[in-house]
Each structure stands twice: as C-alpha cells, then as structure tokens.
C-alpha cells in the first residue's frame, strides 16, 4: 500500500466543466450543477494549494450540441484552467481520443488520477474504462460528478453509472479523498485506504 506524497501526487482530471452543462434548455444541462461545481472547486483548490497536477478536459465533438464555434463549449469561469495547468480537447467521449492526452498519460510513471466534473455517463465513464485497460489507476469523486438531465430518474441513473465505473476505478466522496489529515491516501491499485 502507498499513500500519495508531494513527490508522487495524484493527477486531478477535471472533465468537461463547460458552460453547455449550465445552459437551460440544452440537452446536456445538469440539474444539480451548483452543488457539483462547489465540490469540484473545493477539490481543485485542494490540489492547487499543494501544487499538485491539475488537468482539464474539454469536449469539442462536432455534433450540434457541442458546436466548437459556440461559446457553450467555453469553460465555466470559476472552474477554468489556471496558468500552468494542462488542458486537452477531446472529440469523442473518452479523453484518450485526444492524441496529446493519450501521449501525456502514457509518459507518467506510477500514474494515479482523481476524476471529477460533468458528463459522468460519457467522458468520465469512457475515460476511466479506457484508462483501466491501459493500467492507469483512477479514483472518481462521486459527489463531484454529474450526469445530464433527461435520463428519467437522474439520481438512480447516476448511481447506476457510478456502480458500473466502480468495476474499473475506486469510488469515494470528496471529503474522503481529502481526508481528515489533508492528505489523499490511496492504495497502489488506486483504491482509497481505510
């Protein structure tokens, strides 16, 4: 077992924190966006305060609902990348559809990631599954992720997606990831230490 140290910090993967998900009337709108954004910001602040790596993903699919020419693909102001943080655009649901992201991830030794953000049922799910098959270890912050509205019972749908992701990654709430001592503790397989 291994606890992360400042020499080997986990990478925070911030998935699709874009205006599209906040815009009423759009098919990807998130019903509990404010609560999710608050938890995302809390985790991002925790990582930034420790100077740990933060990576941002941006969906730029050519479909009408993610038209790259639209301002709806822009970052949510409070959650946009800061100088020194990497950002990758991905055309397909998996972030690994970005050749730059795939190359970056393949060059990290002892790769461990914590994922948060929107598009749980698309970007996060597909990225975690593909990462699993590349031996990349992921942890998903269950209270800092969201699915789009319009999937029937949104809470049941989100819980079902999280159960599926649990086959490929560790699942933990934000508070558990930060930990009482202020350190992120994960085992070598990416699971939270108890």
For residue range 150-165, list pLDDT tens digits in order. 556 778 888 999 999 9
Kindly list the structural domains of the chain, giving each domain's residue range(s) and its CATH number in brackets, ordered by start: 11-172 (3.40.50.850)
Judged by phi (left if over 0) then psi (alpha if -120 to 50, else beta), residue 190 lies in: left
For residue range 37-48, list pLDDT tens digits in order. 999 999 999 999
**pLDDT score recorded for residue 101:** 97
pLDDT range class, residue 85, cuts 50, 70, 90: very high
pLDDT range class, residue 31, cuts 50, 70, 90: confident
Interior CA angle at 37 toward 11 and 74, to 5°? 80
In the predicted model, is pLDDT for residue 51 greater than 80?
yes
Least confident span in 71-80, 107-116, 127-136, 176-185: 176-185
- Write down the mean pLDDT value for the chain: 83
Region 32-37: mean pLDDT is: 86
Nearest to 91 by CA among 140, 134, 57, 117: 57
Percentage of the chain with pLDDT > 70?
Answer: 79
Global pTM reads 0.84
Greater model confidence, 92 or 24: 92
Region 110-130: mean pLDDT is: 93
d(CA 99, CA 101): 6
Backbone angles phi, psi at 143, to 5 degrees: -100, 5
């Amino acid at each position: 077992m291994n606890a992360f140290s400042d020499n080997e910090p986990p990478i925070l993967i911030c998935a699709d924190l874009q205006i599209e998900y906040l815009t009423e009337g759009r098919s990807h709108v998130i019903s509990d966006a404010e609560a999710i954004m608050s938890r995302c910001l809390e985790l991002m602040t925790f990582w930034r305060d420790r100077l740990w790596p933060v990576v941002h993903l941006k969906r730029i699919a050519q479909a009408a609902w993610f038209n790259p020419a639209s301002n709806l693909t822009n970052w949510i102001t409070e959650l946009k990348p800061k100088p020194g943080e990497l950002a990758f655009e991905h055309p397909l649901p998996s972030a690994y559809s970005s050749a730059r992201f795939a190359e970056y991830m393949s060059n990290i030794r002892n790769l461990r990631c914590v994922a948060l953000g929107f598009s749980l049922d698309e970007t996060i799910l597909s990225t975690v599954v593909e990462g699993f098959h590349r031996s990349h270890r992921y942890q998903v912050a269950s209270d800092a992720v969201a699915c789009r509205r319009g999937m029937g019972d949104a809470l049941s749908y989100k819980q079902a997606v999280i159960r599926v992701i649990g086959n490929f990654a560790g699942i933990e709430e934000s508070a558990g990831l930060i930990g009482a001592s202020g350190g992120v503790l994960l085992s070598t397989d990416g699971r939270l230490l108890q």
